[in-house]
Structures are given as C-alpha cells and as structure tokens.
Structure 1
Amino acid sequence: MAYLMIAFAATMWGLIGFFVKGLSVAGFSAMEIVTIRVGSAAIMLIIIGGIFFRKYLKINIKDLPLFIGTGLMSIVFFNWCYFTAIEQMNIPVAAALLYTSPAFVITLSVLFLGERLNRRKLTAVAGTIIGSAMVAEISLSQGSSFPLMSLFIGLGAGLGYALYSIFGKVALKKYSPFTLTLYTFTTAAVFLVPSFVGTNQTKHLFNQEVLLYAVGLGLVPTVLAYFAYSWGLEKVESSRAAIIATVEPVAATLLGVIVYQEHISVIQLIGIAFILGSVTFVNVPKGTRLPYKRKQEKSARF
C-alpha cells in the first residue's frame, strides 16, 4: 500500500500540467502559479486541520527547521530552480535534470539517514535517469549550447526536489503525514504569498474559471499528492520512494497524449518502459525468484 500511495502521488504530480496550462493562459507567470499552488494548498490544509485533525496541528518550535527544509529549501527552491532552468534552457532538458533527484536522494540518504547502498538501487537510479531523459527526448547535443550556470540551476531543481524526501523522512519520525504536509505548505505560503498579494493579478483569482484551476492545482497535485507521498514515505526508504516517484513523467506524457492529443514517439515509449522497469526492479524483494526460474528448478529435480 505504501508503494501504491507513492505511485498515486507521482501520478497526481504528473497531472500538474493541466492546471498550469489553464493558469498560464489566464496570464499568470510561472512563479505566480507556484504562489497560487502553495497558497491554496495551505488554506485548504488549515481548514481541513481545524475541522478534522486538530490534534495534529501542534508542533515543537525546535522542529521548525524541518518544515523550513521541506517548505523553503525543497518546495520554493525546487520550483525557482526548475522554472529558471526552463526559461534559460528548455522544458525537455530542465525535466531531465530534475529527474536526477533519485541520485541525490540516495546519496543524502546514505550520508544522513543511514540507508544502505546496493547495486539494485544504483541500477534503478541509472534506469530512471535514462528513462526520464528518453521521455523528455533529450540528447547530449541538446545540452551543449547552454551556459554552465543554467545546468547547475537545473541540477539544483533535482536537489531541491530530493530534499523533501530527506527532511520529510526525519520529520515523519515525530509527526504525522498530515502535519508534515500542512506545515510544509504553510511555511512556503508565508514566504511567497506576501509578494503576490496586492498585485494586479490578485483580482483575476476571483474569475470563476481561474478559481477552479487554482483550487484544482492546490488540491489534486498538491494536497492529495504530497499527503499520499508523505504517508508512503513514512513506511518506505527515502531512496526507494524517490525512485518510485519517477513515474511522474510517465503520467505527464500520458496526460499529453490523452487530453491534448500530443504525439508520443518510440523513444518516449522506451523511456517509459525504462522507468517502470526500474521502479519494479527496485521494489522486488531481494531473493525473489521469477516464475520461470522456479519452473526450471522443479524440472531439474525430476
């Protein structure tokens, strides 16, 4: 169930393009959309917490750095790096750099969380990075003309994306998944929303269509996704969770094909196979024997 919840969260993240496209058409910039996302999520979580989860609202002030880690160092930093990388390079390259995050998670998990490093994880990371690059249809020649700093910013997005798993894993030793999700987005909202309030764009939020996109963005790929991911992260190693979460570009690609009738190439299909294969490989328990091997062993005994 924990693995399914993480995969569900990644699928919800893959749907973010639907809401972002709607808000972009309405005239909102990338960082304004990020602000709308964290702001609407924080409001919903505070309301839900006040009604149903009051006992999960209390935190120890000494643990505030953990939520600054998930809210500012992960959510805000990751989004800034990602959208800056998109502006300086292009979406496929930025997306491919973003999905270096499992490598960061595994490295940081070994250094700070005491998780074990093995060939299975390394193989899965390699498979997900290759698969993500193929889904984004990036080649080595595409990145050669970009400034070195833009590449570092793109890698920064992968690092920021990974930090949620690291800080979140530590926070979940003391707090519930709901508490982690609530204070992550409240912290991010406190940082971002003041710069948005009072601008000309604020009044456009009350447009019915824009409001639906804003609420949908805050609910589906944010509140539901991060709560599900945090719930799964509580029970699964950070490194495994990060690898499972790479089904997000698969979901995003399928969204483009189904909803926007975008073309999917053979390279992208192979990339999807790489990602799903890597996710399956890292979650097959060690020592599990495949059916055909058991059949061969049974035949040998006779």
Structure 2
Amino acid sequence: MQKRAYLLIIASGVLWGTIGIFVRGLYGLGFSSLQVVTLRVFSAAVIMLIYLLFTRPELLKFRFRDSLYFVGTGILSLAFFNLCYFITIRETSIAIAVTLLYTAPAFVAVLSRVFFRESLRAKKLFSLGLTLAGCAFVTGYLPKLGSSPFIPLPWLLTGLGAGFGYALYTIFGKAALKKYHTLTIITYTFIFASLALLPLVNFENSGGAFSTGSFWIYLAGMGIFPSTLAYLLYTKGLEEVEASRAAIVVTIEPVVGTLVSYFIFREMLSGWQLVGILLVLTGVVLIQERK
C-alpha cells in the first residue's frame, strides 16, 4: 500500500510540474498572474463540484465547525502561497522564488514533528538536505562561495511565506483525512480558495480572451491535470505516507517543470540543473521506507 502511495505522490508532482504549459498559454492571451491563479482554483472548484453533485453528493456534506480544515487548505495554503509566490517572482526572479518555495519540506518536517509526532531521523534530514540542494541547482539559484545574493527583507519574507503556505496544505490535509474523504477535501479546498481570490480579481480587460477556443483548452487542461487530478493524487497518497516524507517526494515537481521547459519550450538545460535533478531524485528514493 505504501509503495502505491509513494507512486501517487510522485504522479502528483509530475502533474504539478506541467502547469507551466497552461500558465504560459494563458499569459500569452494577456492574463495576469493573479488572474491565472484565480482561474486555476475556480475552474478546479467547478469541476469537482459538478462531479460530486452527479456522482457522490453525500461527500459534499461537512460540519461547519470543521470548515477550519478547508480554510487551512484553501485560503491559508492554496490562495496565500500563490499570492506570495507570484509577488516574489515579480519582485525578485523565478529562480529565487522557486528556491524559497521549496523550503516547504523543511516547514512540513518541523510542523509534522509538532502536530503529528513524526520522527526526524538522520535519513529523513539527509534526504531533505539533498532535495533542497537539488531544487537550488534545478532553479539555477547558485550563490557563489563566500557571498550571497541580496534579497530585500520584504521579498525574502514573501518567498518564505510561499514555502510556509505550500507546507500548510500537507498539514491541514493530513488532519482533514481523519474525518473526510479525499474528494471532499479537494472540492472544498478549491471552493474556499476561490472565495478568497475572486473578490481580488477584475476580468473586465480580458473579456476578449474568453471567446477564443485556446482559452477554454488551457483553462480545462489547467483545471484538470495540475489542479484537480494532482491534488487528488497527493491527498490520497497522504493517507499512507508521513506528511514530511510526502513533502520531500513531491519536490520532483521542479524537476518535471525544468524538463518541460527544455523539451517543450526549448529552454537551455545546464549541467548544474542535471546535477540538481539527480540530487532531487536521490532524495526522493532515499526517503521511501524499506520493509
């Protein structure tokens, strides 16, 4: 069962890594970062809501007092980390933003120790170090020895905020699984995230894009593959795997994103990025339990 769970988490990371295909397509149609994030969570919410209404409407029931779980996964995690992430990209660079985002496994390891009493053995810490170093190589964020790039404090905090918000999905999702089905958690995650983001976005200047066929293809693809399906697989995998281990395994996402940029968008892939890919994959393999 645990082997299957690890495969589900790896698959979710692969799907998350393909999001650049759809995001670039929507950027090409004139949408802003915040608009793309909102379109992502709203389309996924609609897909999940329609699916459950026609197949398993009983899974839409939840106790109001348990809405804290979905505030955590939807607003504190999904909406918050996306906002922090795109602000950091805008004010610094993609490389710095992605590197700071992937401090998430470290946050998960600490929070899992506090809330779930998960162990912090040497093997887990070593795997964590490998994946963090690998992500730094993959994203091209390689400060020279003896010096460090200057990142203004506000953008350092937004970058770390993205990592922290990203980590919160694993923590709140793991807790919610004790009471609710995976489909329930995913659906209300996207609904609560949509409720938080829709008031912040204005689509008046993008009305023309809605009449193009390519928009609906990109929207459907983004709503299904790197959103609905990816979160379903990841949350399902969390049922069998420690939260801290899951967070390390899913760092395969930037590896896939880099490969997508190379094979689809013909962006350069350096030797250091290949080293980073190997480090991440090594960390992902090492973290898995052996019977």
Task: Choose the corresponding residue for 1:83, options 86, 104, 109.
Answer: 86
Shift of 1:202: 4.2
Conserved 8 A contact 1:20-1:33: yes
TM-score, with length taken from structure 2: 0.95
Task: Choose the corresponding residue for 2:69, options 66, 70, 89.
Answer: 66
Conserved 8 A contact 1:93-1:143: no
User: Aligned letter for 2:286?
Assistant: F
User: Aligned letter for 1:169?
Assistant: K
Shift of 1:200: 2.7
User: Aligned letter for 2:127?
Assistant: A
Gaps of 5+ in 1: 289-302
1:151 matched to which residue of 2? 156
- Is residue 2:242 matched to residue 1:208? no
Task: Choose the corresponding residue for 2:108, options 84, 102, 105.
Answer: 105
Shift of 1:203: 4.9
Task: Choose the corresponding residue for 2:45, options 42, 49, 64.
Answer: 42
1:299 matched to which residue of 2? none
User: Aligned letter for 1:271?
Assistant: G
1:169-204 alpha-carbon deviations (Å, 9 max, x no partner): 000111111111000000111121244366232452
1:106-129 alpha-carbon deviations (Å, 9 max, x no partner): 000001111111111111111000
Gaps of 5+ in 2: none
Conserved 8 A contact 1:92-1:136: yes
Task: Choose the corresponding residue for 1:171, options 176, 183, 198.
Answer: 176
Task: Choose the corresponding residue for 1:235, options 231, 240, 246.
Answer: 240
Match runs of 1:1-302 below 5 Å: 1-140=4-143, 144-196=149-201, 199-285=204-290
User: Aligned letter for 2:10?
Assistant: A
Conserved 8 A contact 2:34-2:201: no
| Secondary structure of the corresponding residue to residue 200 of structure 1 | helix
Q: Quick one: distance in 1 between partners of 2:211 and 2:195? A: 21
Q: Which moved more, 1:197-206 or 1:255-264?
A: 197-206
CA RMSD of aligned residues (A): 1.4
Q: Which moved more, 1:6-15 or 1:113-122?
A: 113-122
Conserved 8 A contact 1:98-1:161: yes
Conserved 8 A contact 1:9-1:224: yes
After superposing on structure 2, the runs of 4+ consecutive aligned residues of structure 1 that deviate more than 3 Å are 194-198
Conserved 8 A contact 1:57-1:179: yes
Percentage of matched positions with identical amino acids: 42
Q: Quick one: distance in 1 between partners of 2:258 and 2:233? A: 21
1:191-244 alpha-carbon deviations (Å, 9 max, x no partner): 212443662324522321111111111111000000000100111110010000
User: Aligned letter for 1:7?
Assistant: I
1:3-35 alpha-carbon deviations (Å, 9 max, x no partner): 001000000000000000000010000000000
Conserved 8 A contact 2:13-2:250: yes
Conserved 8 A contact 1:196-1:202: no
User: Aligned letter for 2:205?
Assistant: N
User: Aligned letter for 2:22?
Assistant: F
The count of corresponding residues between Structure 1 and Structure 2 is 286
User: Aligned letter for 1:117?
Assistant: L
TM-score, with length taken from structure 1: 0.92
User: Aligned letter for 1:128?
Assistant: T
Q: Quick one: distance in 1 between partners of 2:219 and 2:26? A: 8
User: Aligned letter for 2:260?
Assistant: L
